[in-house]
């Protein structure tokens, strides 16, 4: 087979052995829904890109796209006044619906819902095949075809990009020096309070979403600039602030008193050539943690988190995360199913993951004139985190999809956490 999976993709394959590891995107597009025309546009675009006829050899961690024509069937959701609720329910269903474990299969499932003069186009996909940026570009190209055009970049893109070997070689000194940070990284994990699962042992993912309208999102942008932190830093601080009241027992723990969050980052730009237009995923992550003491201000919290994230980026410590992922892969086959399920909870005790995507920038950079009005994302929690927050910036708004393990959080818990985060944004105004 022609393609090899990188370290993060291989980890995703291991995670989906335990439970489906999918991602779902939904874009609100202009125009009246015509299911037949939409199916034709999707089929043509997938064939043009060459992302059809996937064959996966999970054991060897290799894959190949056979290419060729494909007939896509789009599931049309029933129309209703509660369009967002229907979309959220379908996204939740898709998160929990497995793809084939191995062999030949199509790694996409499409659905749509009419909304008057607009419609929602959704895609669920086996997450190891692509990162969110590739999927945004795919949906933009489909939208352009649906409007009657053919995207300029409709020809096949690079489907078998380089793995992380050259990345480590090119950053050999940073990786070597980063080894001295490993003890501190492991110590930070040992200070983090472990997530609890009060509602059973179910791995099912729930999904909900909320929106920060223009005034609140503008306040976040303005405040991040004033405090000299990134928007991602500020959102991480807001999430920690919202989570802290949910974990009061950590304040009385002997050692594990901090709350940890994993920040997922796209490292596509770390590759010199050959990945700019590649269809795939180039991800890593890093852990940030904080005790979030009573009375701490959001500004102090954001600045503390910024110091952590800047250190990670400056020293490229996300390479150490990839190294630890590789080590985990070496011991995976020697572990029992029970040990595999507990490995991350014991050694990487994060309460949430944050995966931010600037949809507006990616959409505008992709060929075509199709517009997007609203964008929602959902990412499976997997074994490493009971919650994943996936903000997507479109226009003047920030749309935040949140997936969560129903054994860790109830719908009421998530409503309370979401309300606390929105309240944080109101205080910035």
Residue 367, pLDDT score: 85
**Where exactly are the structural domains of the chain?**
3-146, 165-428
- Structural contact between residues 117 and 30, judged by C-beta atoms closer than 8 angstroms: yes
Is residue 351 within 8 A of residue 262, CB to CB? The reply is no
* Whether residue 318 has pLDDT greater than 60: yes
Let me know: does 146 contact 281? Beta carbons within 8 Å: no
Cβ atoms of 207 and 91 closer than 8 Å = yes
For residue 203, give the 3-state DSSP assignment. coil
The single residue listed with the structure tokens 């949140």 is 402
What is the CATH class of 165-428?
Answer: alpha beta
Is-contact 87 122, C-beta < 8 A?
A: yes
Say how far residue 20 (Cα) sits from the centre of its chain: 14
- Integer Cα distance of 98 and 125 in angstroms: 10
Which pLDDT band holds residue 273 (cuts at 50, 70, 90)? low
Q: What is the pTM of this model?
A: 0.95
| Average pLDDT estimate for 11-29 | 96
| pLDDT in the model for residue 156 | 59
Where does residue 59 rank: exposed (0-12), middle (13-18), buried (19+ CB within 10 A)? exposed
Task: Give the CA diameter of the chain.
Answer: 63
pLDDT value at position 338? 87
How many Å apart are CA 194 and CA 345, to the nearest integer? 7
Residues linked to residue 109 through DSSP beta bridges, in sequence order = 124
Closest of 384, 314, 376, 311 to residue 348, by C-alpha:
384
**Would you give the distance in Å from CA 320 to the centre of its chain?**
20
Which CATH fold would you assign to the domain 3-146?
Answer: Chloramphenicol Acetyltransferase (3.30.559)
**What pLDDT digit, counting tens, does each position of 42-88 carry?**
999 999 999 999 999 999 999 999 999 999 999 999 875 577 889 99
pLDDT on residue 152:
53
Element (H, E) at 346: helix 337-347
Instruction: State the Cα angle at 407 between 405 and 410, rounded to 5°.
Output: 80
In the 8-state DSSP scheme, what is residue 170? H
Report the mean per-residue pLDDT for the chain: 92
Mean pLDDT of all residues in 216-222: 97
Rounded distance between C-alpha atoms, residue 144 and residue 35, angstroms: 15
DSSP state of 379: E
Instruction: Say yes or no to pLDDT of 220 above 60.
Output: yes
* Residue 296 reports pLDDT greater than 70: yes
Rg of the chain taking only CA atoms, in angstroms: 21
Give yes or no for a contact between 368 and 27, defined as CB atoms under 8 angstroms apart.
Answer: no
């Amino acid at each position: 087979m022609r393609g090899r999976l990188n370290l993060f993709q291989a980890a995703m394959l291991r995670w989906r052995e335990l439970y489906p590891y999918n991602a779902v995107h939904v874009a609100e597009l202009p125009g009246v829904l015509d299911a037949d025309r939409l199916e034709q546009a999707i089929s043509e675009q997938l064939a043009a890109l060459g992302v059809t006829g996937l064959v996966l050899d999970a054991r060897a961690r290799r894959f190949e796209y056979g290419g060729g024509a494909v007939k896509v069937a789009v599931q049309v959701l029933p129309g209703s006044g509660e369009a967002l609720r229907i979309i959220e329910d379908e996204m939740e269903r898709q998160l929990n619906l497995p793809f084939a474990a191995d062999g030949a299969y199509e790694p996409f499932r499409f659905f749509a819902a009419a909304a008057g003069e607009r419609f929602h186009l959704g895609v669920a996909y086996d997450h190891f095949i692509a990162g969110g940026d590739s999927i945004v570009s795919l949906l933009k190209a489909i939208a352009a075809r649906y409007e009657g055009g053919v995207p300029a970049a409709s020809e096949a893109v690079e489907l078998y990009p380089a793995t992380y070997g050259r990345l480590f070689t090119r950053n050999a000194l940073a990786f070597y020096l980063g080894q001295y940070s490993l003890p501190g990284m492991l110590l930070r994990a040992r200070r983090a309070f472990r997530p609890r699962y009060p509602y059973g042992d179910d791995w099912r993912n729930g999904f909900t979403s909320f929106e920060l309208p223009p005034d609140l999102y503008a306040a976040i942008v303005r405040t991040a600039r004033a405090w000299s932190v990134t928007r991602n830093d500020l959102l991480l601080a807001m999430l920690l602030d919202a989570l802290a009241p949910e974990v009061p027992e950590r304040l009385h723990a002997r050692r594990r008193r901090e709350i940890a969050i994993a920040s997922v980052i796209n490292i596509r730009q770390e590759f010199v050539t050959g990945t700019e237009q590649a269809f795939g995923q180039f991800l890593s992550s890093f852990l940030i943690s904080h005790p979030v003491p009573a009375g701490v201000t959001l500004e102090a919290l954001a600045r503390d988190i910024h110091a952590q994230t800047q250190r990670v980026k400056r020293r490229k410590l996300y390479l150490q995360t990839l190294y630890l992922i590789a080590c985990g892969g070496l011991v995976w086959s020697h572990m029992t199913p029970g040990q595999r399920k507990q490995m991350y909870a014991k050694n990487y005790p994060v309460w949430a993951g944050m995966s931010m995507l600037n949809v507006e920038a990616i959409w505008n950079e992709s060929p075509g004139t199709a517009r997007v009005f609203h964008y929602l994302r959902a990412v499976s929690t997997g074994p490493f985190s009971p919650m994943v927050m996936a903000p997507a910036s479109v226009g003047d708004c920030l749309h935040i999809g949140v997936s969560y393990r129903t054994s860790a959080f109830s719908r009421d818990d998530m409503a309370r956490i979401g309300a606390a985060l929105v309240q944080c944004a109101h205080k910035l105004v």
